[in-house]
Amino acid sequence: MENFVFQNATRIVFGRGAEESVGRETAAMARRVLLHFGGKSVKASGLLDRVKARLHEAGVAFEELGGVVPNPRLSLVREGIALCRKHRLEAVLAVGGGSVIDSSKAIALGVPYAGDVWDFYTRKAETKEALPVGVVLTIPAAGSESSGATVITNEDGWHKKDAGGDCLRPRFALMDPVLTFTLPPYQTACGAADIMAHVMERYFTRVKAVDFTDRLCEATLRTIVRNVPIALAKGDDYDARAEIMWAGTVAHNDLLGTGRVGDWATHMIEHEVSGIYDVAHGAGLAVLFPAWMTYVLRHDVERFAQFASRVFDVEHDYALNERTALEGIRRLRAFWKSIGLPGTLSEMGVGADRLDEMAMKCTESGTRGSFVQLAQADVRAILELAR
Ligand code: NZQ
Ligand code: ZN
C-alpha cells in the first residue's frame, strides 16, 4: 500500500427532507450567495422555490443564475464570476447535479483570482483559494458533491478540462434520495456508469497489497449493479435510490483511492468525446471503459480476473485467468446494455472522422493513465476499439 493523506471536509446531510436544512447550512457559510442551477428539472420539481423560501427564512440574500447545461460551459462561468463580483457575493450554492456543481466551483475559483479562470484548467494557475460552495444534490453520478474537482468545457475549441484542489470540496452536501425520483431512466443509467467508472479508475492499479480498498471498491460496484435495475423498474423506490446516492458519493470522495494510484485514462479520453460531441459523460464511459479494459488487460490479467469473479460472480478459472477476465468485461458490457446505455461510439453519433483529433488533444500534455501509460497511438486504438 502507498502512503496517503486523506481529508474530506464535506459535511454530508443525507436522507428524506435533507434539503430543508439549506437555509441553516447556507447561513453558516455566508450571508450573500449566488444561487446556481441548471435547466428545467429544479423548477419543475418545485425544489428551486423551496430552496429560495428556506434562504429567505434564514436571512440569506442571493442572486440567481440558472441555465447550466450538461458539460457546463465556460461562458456561463464567466457570467457567474461577474455577478458575484458585482453583488459582492461570498459563496455559491449549487442546486443540481455534477454540471451545476462544477460550474459553481469554477465560479468560486474565479472570483478571488485576478486573471482568467480558464488558467486553472490549463494549469497556468494553481488552485489555492476559492469561495465556499454548498450543494443540494439532485442526481447521483459525478460525485462532485464531495470531490475536489471541477470539469468545464471551453466553447472556444471545445476543450473539456478539469481543475482540482482541496479548496474546491464543497462545505456541505444535502442529499435527499427523494429528489432523484424524477430522474429519467437514461440519466439514472448514465449516473450509474459514472459511479462505477470512478471506482474502476481506482480499482485498476499497479499498487500491490490493497486488499481493504479492493473490497470497498467491489462492494460499491456490487451495490450499483444490484440497485440500479430496481430504481429503473420503480423510480420512486427510496431504498434503491438511497443506496445509489450514497454509493455515488463514496465512489468519488477519495476514500476508495486511499493507498492506491488510480488510472484515470478512460476519463481523460471520455472528456475529449463529450467535449466535442456533447454526449452524457456516463454514456461515454460505458462505451470507452470496456474498450480500455480490453486494450490493457494483459498488463495484469490476474487483477481483471479478480474483478470478474468478485464483482460479476464469474467462476474464477486460475489456469485460464484471461478467459475469466474477458468474461468479466463481457458481463460489464451486458449490464450497461441492460440498463439502456450505448455499447459503441457510433450508437452515440460519434463517427470515425475526429478520432485522431481526440487522441491528439487527449495526449497533448503527455501520456495518460498509470496502470498503463498511453500515448497518442494507444488512445487512438482504444477509440477505434470503442467504435
Ligand atoms: O438541467 P436540468 O433540467 O436540471 O437536467 C439535468 C441534466 O439534463 C438532469 N437532472 C438532474 N437532476 C435531475 C434531473 N432531471 C430530473 N430530475 C432530477 N432530479 O440530468 C441531466 C444531467 O445532469 P448533470 O448535472 O449534467 O449530470 P452529472 O451529475 O452526471 O454531471 C456530469 C458532469 O460532471 C462532470 C462530467 O464530465 C459532466 O460534465 N464530472 C465531474 C466530476 C467532478 N467534478 O468530480 C467527475 C466526473 O468524472 C465527471 O467528469
Ligand atoms: Zn466521471
In Å, what is the CA distance from 133 to each residue of 203, 259, 272?
Answer: 29, 28, 27
Closest residue to atom 6 of ligand 1, CA basis: 41
Question: What is the rounded CA–CA span in Å between residue 157 and residue 294?
Answer: 31
- Can you read off the three cell numbers belonging to residue 244? 445509489
Distance from the alpha carbon of residue 198 to the mean position of ligand 2, in angstroms: 6
Cell numbers representing residue 4 in the block: 496517503
Each as own residue / partner, the long-range contacts of residues 331-338 (CB below 8 Å, 24 or more positions apart, any chain) are 332/289, 332/290, 332/293, 333/290, 335/225, 336/189, 336/193, 336/286, 338/229
89 Cβ closer than 6 Å to some ligand 1 atom: no
Along the chain (387 residues), what's the average pLDDT of each consecutive run of 10 residues? Answer: 96 98 98 97 97 98 98 98 98 98 98 98 97 98 98 96 97 98 98 98 98 98 98 98 98 98 98 96 98 98 97 92 97 98 97 96 97 98 98
Query: 210 Cβ partners below 8 Å, 6+ apart?
Result: 1, 259, 260
pLDDT of residue 134: 98
Q: Give the integer Cα–Cα distance in Å for 228 and 230.
A: 5
Q: Which atom of ligand 1 is nearest to the CA of 197?
A: 48
Cα 173 to middle of ligand 1, angstroms = 15
**17-30: b or e for each residue (b if 16 or more CB lie within 10 Å)?**
ebbebbbebbbebb
Phi, psi of 315, deg, nearest 5: -65, 125
Element (H, E) at 224: helix 211-233
Atom of ligand 1 nearest to the CA of 191: 30
Beta carbon of 285 within 6 Å of any ligand 1 atom: no
Please give the single-letter amino acid code of residue 98. G
Helix (H) or strand (E) holding 34: strand 32-37
pLDDT tens for 21-79 read 999 999 999 999 999 999 999 999 999 999 999 999 999 999 999 999 999 999 999 99
Note the pLDDT tens digit of each residue in 102-112: 999 999 999 99
| Predicted local distance difference test score (pLDDT) of residue 318 | 84
**51 class by beta-carbon count within 10 Å (0-12 exposed, 13-18 middle, 19+ buried):** buried
Q: Which of 74, 139, 270 to mutate to test the pocket of ligand 1 (most atoms within 8 A of CB)?
A: 139
Q: Does 40 sit in the ligand 1 pocket, CB within 6 Å? A: yes
pLDDT score recorded for residue 319: 86
Half-sphere exposure at residue 230, Cβ-oriented, CA atoms within 13 angstroms: 14
CA 49/CA 145 separation, integer angstroms: 21
